[in-house]
């Protein structure tokens, strides 16, 4: 088989340019009967009916288009920073990133232009990382339950809070936790309806306040009664200086 | 043959009585024509044994309905999640933190500190998840029970009674020191036969090969408990055996009903007042012990290992492949070309 492939174009009607639109509807065909050969520069023999019989090889309009790579040219919250390469679906990449001007196509020139370096200076007015805002929102909504013993005497330490964060599903190193100005000691029944806040520093830059409540743990019979949706009910501030900030926290309404 | 008899009769009768044509047929038994359509297919279908799958209890008003069950894949995978880049982050958006065994124990010790949960001697359980696929993709391993002795023992509430048979006074004394509740020779056999010692009170019965002949008379009484090499209860090194059965940890890997390729077990591997290094060694020994029943195929057997310590609900993931290999080595796999099904070992 010669394996000749021919493209079928739209019908060759001459139309004014304002009506011609681009349509990408290439069909890849193969001739069933080989056409007659001729010498170079020689007379081209007349093609017969059988030479215009084609078999369909591929319809390019039904083939799935591959995802494209784009390079961010600025800091985008929740996605990435300058120079990050994303692989996205065609339409999503165009509508959400290229059209608003947040990214460009990932050709070698653009990749070189927006190349990232390990220690590049932080852009002004942006977070230290694209996911810091999400972390800050999560921590802002959180009401941390700090489970302390009902029987043994204790003083609240950063590692207590670190362990409580880990139990609640947050990784917070001890160095990032800033304790309240007043030392909290217990076990103390006065702490039952009180709350305070601690400050968490993300990437040594952004600060966010996290509400905390002490829960006195006693195994077995002496356990406190079950409080439904305790995080939806506001409580009194433990430390008077913190009252102002604690009032501004959001509470979910039932 | 029948045809010929048939024809002979016909010819004989017609030759004798020319006007009357009487045909007498003989029932010979063997059939020279094909069976009626569907007879042989029916017999073949009857021979095929249909596998009866156990269906649980269905309330009377839901019987007869076609139940559409979507099976959730219990095999863990967080490949699609991102790797954390910040120092403070919510865990649900990122890949699970993988601790070393020592760090995980220390983390549990933090939450169980006297100032917090106030349970410094709580158990640490190792939750191990398995891929129970056998050599063939469609065949799965069954639930199995194993007993393994951990290098660093820790106090557990349960007590085990062991009956040990052997000859020789010194050996008897050794075994009693090792942890057997009752150790002895022919005198115990007599007591069993009299009825003074009741076999069902004892969890395990172990014996030395030299006393095996004396045990044969009470084989009927012992039934399942009779010491044999296969179950590991018959061994010349009785002292080791007694120690293993007395202090070892028994665990049952249960395969999931809905998803037979998933199996899991929760084994106590230590207490929080032990050294983290000792607990790590216990976990290592446990994982190596489980490899003995591994099916001889490619792919993971142990998929995940978590450390859990009640009353905390935290599950800290550790890397089990620090202690064991991820996949079987080539030589071990090639050894078993003839094996059809993986055999679950019981100890």
Q: Give the domain extent around A54.
A: 2-59
Q: Match 């056999």 to its residue by tokens.
A: B189
Residue A217 at interface with chain B, using a CB cutoff of 8 Å: yes
Q: Indicate the residue of B88, B93, B117 with minimum beta-carbon distance to A202.
A: B88
Which domains are present in chain B? 95-152+250-334 (3.30.190.20), 162-244 (3.40.50.790)
Q: Is residue A236 part of a domain?
A: yes
**Separation of alpha carbons A147 and A216, rounded Å:** 6
Taking an 8 Å cut-off on Cβ atoms, the answer to whether A201 and B88 are in contact is: yes
Q: Is residue A149 part of a domain?
A: yes
Q: Is the pLDDT of residue A78 over 70?
A: yes
The nearest alpha carbon in chain B to A157 belongs to: B115
Both A80 and A144 in one domain: the answer is: no
**pLDDT-derived band of residue A2, with 50, 70 and 90 as boundaries?**
very low
Both A55 and A93 in one domain: the answer is: no
The count of CB pairs under 8 A between chains A and B is 81
Contact, A135 vs B86, CB < 8 A? yes
Q: Match 């190596």 to its residue by tokens.
A: B288
What ipTM was reported for this prediction?
0.79
Question: What's the order of all strands across the beta sheet hosting B182-184?
Answer: B182-184, B162-165, B204-207
Taking an 8 Å cut-off on Cβ atoms, the answer to whether B90 and A135 are in contact is: yes
The nearest alpha carbon in chain A to B87 belongs to: A203
Both A230 and A162 in one domain: the answer is: yes
Asked which of A106, A124, A142 is the last residue of a domain, the reply is: A124
CATH number at residue A219: 3.10.430.100
Q: Is residue A239 part of a domain?
A: yes
Q: Is residue A252 part of a domain?
A: no
The nearest alpha carbon in chain A to B83 belongs to: A131
What pLDDT score does B343 carry? 46
* B190 Cβ neighbours under 8 A, 6+ residues apart: none
pLDDT single digits (tens) A145-172:
999 998 889 999 999 999 999 999 999 9
Q: Pick from A153, A160, A163 the residue to mutate for testing the B interface (most B CBs within 10 Å).
A: A163
Residue A147 at interface with chain B, using a CB cutoff of 8 Å: yes
Asked which of A42, A59, A76 is the last residue of a domain, the reply is: A59
Both A136 and A222 in one domain: the answer is: yes
Taking an 8 Å cut-off on Cβ atoms, the answer to whether A219 and B311 are in contact is: yes
Both A104 and A53 in one domain: the answer is: no
Residue B121 at interface with chain A, using a CB cutoff of 8 Å: no
- How many domains does one find in chain A? 3
Residue A215 at interface with chain B, using a CB cutoff of 8 Å: no
Q: Is residue A80 part of a domain?
A: yes
Mean pLDDT per block of 10 residues along chain B (347 residues) reads 49 51 64 80 84 79 80 90 94 95 94 91 94 91 89 84 83 81 83 82 83 83 79 80 84 90 93 93 93 89 93 93 85 56 47
* B184 Cβ neighbours under 8 A, 6+ residues apart: B164, B165, B166, B172
Both A158 and A237 in one domain: the answer is: yes
Sign (positive or negative) of CA dihedral B90, B91, B92, B93: positive
In angstroms, the separation between the Cα of residue B286 and the nearest Cα of chain A is 27
Both A73 and A141 in one domain: the answer is: no
Ramachandran angles phi, psi of B166, nearest 5°:
-165, 170
A 22-51 → B contacts, CB under 8 A: none
pLDDT single digits (tens) A163-201:
999 999 999 999 999 999 999 998 888 888 899 999 999
Taking an 8 Å cut-off on Cβ atoms, the answer to whether A202 and B87 are in contact is: yes
pLDDT single digits (tens) A106-147:
999 999 888 876 556 666 778 888 999 999 999 999 999 999
Alpha helices in B38-185 (DSSP H): 39-47, 101-111, 169-178
| DSSP per position, A13-54 | ----GGG-------EEEEESSPPPP--TTSPPPPP-GGGG-E
Residue A116 at interface with chain B, using a CB cutoff of 8 Å: no
Q: Indicate the residue of A147, A149, A171 with minimum beta-carbon distance to B91.
A: A171
Residues of chain B neighbouring A132 (CB-CB closer than 8 A): 86
Q: Is residue A254 part of a domain?
A: no
Please state whether the predicted TM-score (pTM) of the whole model is above 0.95.
no
Q: Is residue A253 part of a domain?
A: no
Both A153 and A234 in one domain: the answer is: yes
Q: Pick from A171, A206, A210 the residue to mutate for testing the B interface (most B CBs within 10 Å).
A: A171
CATH number at residue A90: 3.40.5.10
Q: Match 């065609």 to its residue by tokens.
A: A90
What pLDDT score does B169 carry? 80
Q: Is residue A231 part of a domain?
A: yes
């Amino acid at each position: 088989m010669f394996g000749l492939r021919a493209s079928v174009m739209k019908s060759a009607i001459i139309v004014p340019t304002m009506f011609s639109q681009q349509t990408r509807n290439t069909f890849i065909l193969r001739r069933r009967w080989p056409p007659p050969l001729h010498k170079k520069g020689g007379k081209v023999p007349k093609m017969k009916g059988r030479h215009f019989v084609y078999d369909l090889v591929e319809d390019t309009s039904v083939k799935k288009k591959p995802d494209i790579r784009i390079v961010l040219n600025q800091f985008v919250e929740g996605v990435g920073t300058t120079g990050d390469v994303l692989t996205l679906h065609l339409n999503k990449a165009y509508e959400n990133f290229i059209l608003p001007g947040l990214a460009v196509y990932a050709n070698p020139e653009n990749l070189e232009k927006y190349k990232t370096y390990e220690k590049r200076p932080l852009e002004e007015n942006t977070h230290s990382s694209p996911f810091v805002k999400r972390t800050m929102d999560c921590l802002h909504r959180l009401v941390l339950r700090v489970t302390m013993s009902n029987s043994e005497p204790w003083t609240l330490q950063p590692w207590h809070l670190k362990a409580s964060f880990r139990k609640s599903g947050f990784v917070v190193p001890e160095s990032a936790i800033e304790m309240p100005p007043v030392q909290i000691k217990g076990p103390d029944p006065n702490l039952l309806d009180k709350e305070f806040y601690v400050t968490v520093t993300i990437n040594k830059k952004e600060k966010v306040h996290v509400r905390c409540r002490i829960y006195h743990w006693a195994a077995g019979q002496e356990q406190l009664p079950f409080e439904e949706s305790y995080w939806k009910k506001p409580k009194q501030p433990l430390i008077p200086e913190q009252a102002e900030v604690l009032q501004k926290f959001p509470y979910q309404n039932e | 043959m029948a045809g010929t008899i048939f024809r002979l009769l016909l010819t004989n009768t017609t030759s004798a009585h020319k006007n009357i044509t009487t045909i007498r047929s003989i029932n010979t038994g063997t059939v020279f024509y094909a069976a009626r359509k569907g007879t042989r297919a029916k017999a073949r279908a009857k021979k095929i044994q249909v596998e009866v799958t156990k269906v649980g209890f269905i309330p009377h008003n839901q019987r007869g309905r076609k139940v559409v069950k979507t099976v959730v894949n219990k095999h863990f995978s967080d490949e699609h999640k991102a790797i954390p880049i910040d120092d403070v982050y919510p865990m649900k958006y990122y890949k699970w933190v993988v601790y070393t065994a020592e760090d995980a124990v220390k983390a549990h010790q933090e939450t169980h500190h006297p100032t917090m949960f106030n349970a410094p001697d709580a158990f640490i359980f190792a939750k191990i998840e398995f891929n129970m696929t056998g050599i063939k993709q469609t065949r799965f391993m069954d639930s199995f029970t194993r007993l393994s002795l951990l290098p660093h023992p820790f106090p557990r509430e349960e007590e085990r009674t062991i009956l040990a048979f052997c000859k020789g006074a010194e050996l008897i004394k050794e075994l009693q020191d090792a942890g057997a509740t009752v150790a002895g020779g022919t005198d115990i056999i007599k007591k069993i036969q009299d009825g003074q010692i009741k076999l069902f009170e004892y969890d395990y019965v172990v014996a030395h090969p030299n006393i095996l002949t004396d045990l044969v008379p009470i084989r009927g009484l012992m039934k399942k408990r009779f010491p044999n090499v296969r179950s590991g209860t018959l061994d010349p090194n009785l002292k080791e055996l007694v120690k293993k059965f007395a202090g070892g940890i028994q665990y049952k890997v249960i395969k999931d009903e809905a998803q037979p390729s998933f199996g899991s077990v929760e084994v106590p591997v230590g207490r929080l007042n032990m050294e983290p290094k000792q607990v790590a060694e216990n976990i290592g020994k446990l994982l190596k012990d489980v490899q003995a029943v591994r099916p001889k195929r490619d792919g993971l057997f142990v998929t995940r290992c978590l450390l859990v310590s009640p009353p905390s609900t935290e599950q800290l993931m550790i890397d089990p492949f620090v202690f064991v290999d991820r996949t079987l080595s080539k030589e071990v796999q090639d050894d078993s070309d003839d094996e059809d099904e993986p055999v679950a070992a019981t100890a």
